[in-house]
Structure 1
Amino acid sequence: MPRVIDISAPIYEGMPVYKNKPEKQPSFQVTSDFTTGSAHETRISMDAHTGTHVDAPLHMIPGGATLEAIPLTQWLGPCRVIDLTGVEGGITGADLAPHAIQAGEFILLKTRNSDAEGFDPAFVYLAEDGARFLAEAGVRGVGIDALGIERSQPGHETHKVLFEHGVVILEGLRLTGVKAKSYWLVAAPLRLLGTDAAPARALLLDLEPGESLGAPA
């Protein structure tokens, strides 16, 4: 049985949210407890981009595909964590070139973001030319340990380059202590219909040498 590594951010009231916007804070409301009823029940209000989440093309492209148009198999399968903790600012194609990225890979970008407490406005992000490098390499997906994959891009070029090449996006990962190597990724988003994003529980399965789960159907 492979070791399971949870790389998801916990969701709670007061958690780090993008740009510290109050409207992005989740809230939990107890609607029934054992003083008012026979069961304990909670109502949750939160943004679709809360914590660890996936983006759909509609997020940045008018008329773009919504979440359910992305095959579930895009979020499952082999992946590779690459160590970019020495990078400041934007991750460029030159930063990615030494890692021999191959077509079909799902690449997880481990940066100094994983060690940050709270939201850092100067978080490390994927620059447009880094996105183009990954897209042209033919990756199937890219994830990052920041609440956004881009920063200070009025035209949202990083998102658009990836979406236009069919590359799926996973944001808000927690990669502290995760070694740079290959894993099996499970990052199934909530089955929301018609949305531009959804929270996901992202897990890495650390396979032993020679151990295999097979390819997704």
Structure 2
Amino acid sequence: MFKLYDISMTLDAGIQVWKDKDAKRPTFENTSNHETGSTYETRISLDAHTGTHLDAPLHMLKDGATIETIPLQDLVGTARVLDLTHVTHEITREDLEPFAIQKGEWILFKTRNSLNEGPNFDVEFVFLRADGAAYLAELGIKGVGTDALGIERSQSEYPTHRTLMRNNVLILEGLRLKDVPSGSYFFVLAPLKLAGIEAAPARAFLLGS
């Protein structure tokens, strides 16, 4: 019997958002309800980078590909959760080398970020340093997921994002991996079916034995 892990953030008004910016917070407006003798309906206002989300190259590359160009077959398959909870600041090439990462894998980072489930953004979140991104691109992985709302911080010109995107490595941000043991899983990523923009909120699952 397999075990299913939902590794997505819950979208609600109190969700953690990038740098605690009010403009990034989703809103939920009740537009009709049972008290008025009508059906219950809600209008949602949502940033494309809210919660668990998949980036497209347009996010960081001028004239980059938009979210609908990412093939669905690249979002389903084998993924490996790497235990990097010992990392305090940044994930480097040296941190990644012991894992014998293989071409075509999805790699998901489980760090101390997963312990921060509250509404407040951690400005000191663990991120992937540029040399770590270059290493993953060199290996030819399919995608990388992180349990932070961003895969990098404090790096001029966004070298982590741009290195990965220029080498066709997909970027998934905002995972929740606190209760997921390290190891290999069957991975399903389902971004909203949007078009013409740079990202999409997503639901992500892992299935393991």
Place the TM-score, normalised by the shorter chain, in its bin.
over 0.9
* Equivalent residue number for residue 105 of structure 1: 105
Q: Which whole-Å CA distance do the structure 2 matches of 1:4 and 1:177 have between them?
A: 11
Secondary structure, counterpart of 1:148 in structure 2: coil
Matched residues in 1 for 2:162 and 2:204: separation? Answer: 23
- Structure 1: how far apart are the matches of 2:111 and 2:171? 16
Structure 1 runs (4+) greater than 6 angstroms displaced: none
Amino acid at match of 2:43: R
**2: CA distance between counterparts of 1:9 and 1:65?**
25
From the two aligned structures, give the one with the greater strand fraction.
2
**Amino acid aligned to 1:195:** I
Paired residue type of 1:114: S
The secondary structure found in structure 1 opposite 2:36 is: coil
Task: Determine if the alignment matches structure 1 residue 81 to structure 2 residue 72.
Answer: no
Q: CA deviation at 1:188?
A: 1.1
Q: For structure 2, which runs of at least 5 residues remain unmatched after alignment?
A: none
What is the rounded CA distance, in whole Å, between the counterparts of 1:89 and 1:61 in structure 2? Answer: 26
Corresponding residue number in structure 2 for 1:68: 68
The aligned counterpart of 1:134 is: 136
Distance in 2 (alpha carbons) for counterparts of 1:148 and 1:36: 42
Per the alignment, residue 176 of structure 2 pairs with: 174
Alignment of 1:1-217 (within 5 A): 1-116=1-116, 117=118, 118-206=120-208, 208=209
C-alpha distance after superposition, 1:85-126 (max 9, x if no partner): 001211000000000000010000000000013310000000
For 1:136 and 1:108, locate their aligned partners in 2 and report how far apart those are by CA, in whole Å. Answer: 17
Gaps of 5+ in 1: 209-217
| Root mean square deviation, CA, Å | 0.9
Q: Which residue of 2 aligns with 1:211?
A: none
Shift of 1:160: 0.4
Structure-2 separation of matches of 1:73 and 1:160: 23
Q: Which residue type is aligned with residue 135 of structure 2?
A: F
TM-score normalized by the length of structure 2 = 0.97
With the length of structure 1 as denominator, give the TM-score of the two structures: 0.93
